[in-house]
Chains A and B, each alone.
Chain A
Amino acid sequence: MSPSNRTADIVVIGAGHAGSTLVIELRKLGHGGSIILIGDEALAPYQRPPLSKNYLTGADTGDRLTLLSVEKMQDLKIEFLAQDPVVAIDRGVHAVRLKSGLQIAYGQLALTTGGRNRSLSMPGDNAKNVLSMRTLADAERLRPFLCPDNSLVVIGGGFIGLEVAVSARKAGMQVAILEASSNVLSRVTVPEVSQFFERIHREAGVDIRKSVQVSRIEHGLQRSEVVLNDGSRIPADCTLIGVGMVPNVELAHESGLNCDNGICVNEYARTSDPRIVAAGDCTNHPSAYAGRRVRLESVQNAVDQSRVAAATLLGQQRPYCVVPWFWSDQYDLKFQAVGLSTRHGERILRGKLENSAFSICYLSGDRLIAVDSVNRIADHMQARKLIAAQVPVDKERLADINQKLSDCVLQSEQ
């Protein structure tokens, strides 16, 4: 017997930050038609950022993570299908097929499929104490290892790796971070910020090893060890692999949508099929601030782009032009990044790195294009406005931490 077919005006694939924001926005914008939200996890949409931080250390409980509860979905008349991933999109007949066999015909479709952790292929990486961190289930698997004197090896010095290292140190674990390149956070910031975070982690007792290659993970009867290419061995009651994510584009790609490091969308979050939008970590989109197409992995991008996608589905033209921003909490430090720094020329330091309160201002010509800051919330908030306004800035004032960033606009000579 073939499963019954269903229809919905709008079907949303993926129930993370992007998918949940998108369905809420559809109702806020007055969409009265049917909505089906499909997730492959068991839980209603929840927040991911606390998983590596307060949730791991136990300071946050599961119910505080909820983004969109089952009750609220009932109120909003959003049908939520959990643990039944979509296996195919048939754009010819405008339908998706789920693992259970259920077919759902859509009027329009939204892809908020996010990403998954990049895996490292090496001997010993499929043991129960070799973990990654993206979902609540990942955090649940890692949490029992957070005991005093247990050892954790983090492979990959990115934000997830560093945040988990903080939680592990707070729990009293011995922690080593192994980074293949010459700096931690090398993909996302400049060497002076990387070196700042390395110092902070070293002072907290983390063993950071850079420019190292991991060869394998060996599991003995008593304990496991991570073995490096140079033969050195590091005890690892638990190994966390945090080497980035890959966007979930397979459904889109197999259905013939344009994909190139993400699902290609325009500034309205529309894919190459006019009935289909996409938003969040899985998209490759044009960015006015980068001057090129980008794929961004952040809550901000997921939330703001999915609002654009919802408007597009309802026939409204609302281009996506929010200045990208990001945050990471480590120990008592609040790191915040705003803008895209990749094509910067000059950069100017405000404050002192050794004081753990500074901002690095990235300039393109005389325009501010990005700011990375630590414990400088005012700089971060004011930079959002200055970057969006694309006005020339006064570099001398910018370098003076006693001047408000918002007062650094270059006054035009009249």
Chain B
Amino acid sequence: MTQVLDAATYVPLTYIDTTGKSYEIRAKAGDTLMLTAKAHSVHGIDGDCGGNAACGTCLTRVDESIRAFLPPSSEDEREIIDSLGVSTNEHRLGCQIRVTPDLSGCTFHVGQPA
């Protein structure tokens, strides 16, 4: 019997931090946007609570064209985003979004605006 090794799928993404610096990243499908950012030392994504939607340190602005590809946000997530003083329509928490091939080539603006 042949054992088929499950090769990870990598998805190209771009992160842009609040200083305007751009990061071209090959993200592993299944990882969250937050974990991906942390693994690549993207400025402005701390993910202090480890992805529990408890801390609000992985704020990500998402362009309208991408939003349709994302699962809807939970009420908890929207409340955290709202309390950070930004629009809940345009923003998500990076810990609540898993990388999928649909996101190939997408750009995410990360970090809390000053």
Where the two chains meet, the residues of A that have a C-beta atom closer than 8 Å to any C-beta of B are: 24, 27-28, 47, 49-50, 64, 67, 69, 72, 76, 299-300, 303-304, 325, 327, 329, 334, 336, 377-378, 381-382, 406
Contact = CB atoms under 8 A, between A and B. Distances in A.
B interface, by DSSP: helix, strand, loop or mixed?
Answer: loop
Interface of B: 35, 39, 41, 43, 46, 48-50, 52-56, 76, 79-80, 82-84
Given A47-B50, A381-B83, 4 more contacts: A72-B39, A299-B50, A300-B55, A327-B49
Given A378-B82, A381-B84, A50 B50 contact: yes
Given A28-B41, A69-B39, A378 B52 contact: no
Contacts, number: 46
A interface, by DSSP: helix, strand, loop or mixed?
Answer: helix
Given A69-B39, A72-B39, A377-B76, A382 B50 contact: no
Given A72-B39, A336-B54, A377 B80 contact: yes
A336 B54 CA distance: 8
A300 B56 CA distance: 12
A49 B41 contact: no
A229 B76 CA distance: 44
B5 to A, nearest CB: 16
In the complex, the 5 A-B pairs of residues with the closest C-beta atoms, listed nearest first? A381-B83, A378-B79, A377-B79, A327-B54, A47-B50
B79 A300 contact: no
A49 B84 contact: no
Contacts of B46: 303
B25 to A, nearest CB: 13
Contacts of B55: 300, 325
A108 B41 CA distance: 24
Given A28-B41, A336-B54, A378 B49 contact: no
A302 B46 CA distance: 13
A97 B80 CA distance: 45
A13 B35 CA distance: 25
B48 A303 contact: yes
A69 B43 CA distance: 18
A327 B52 contact: yes
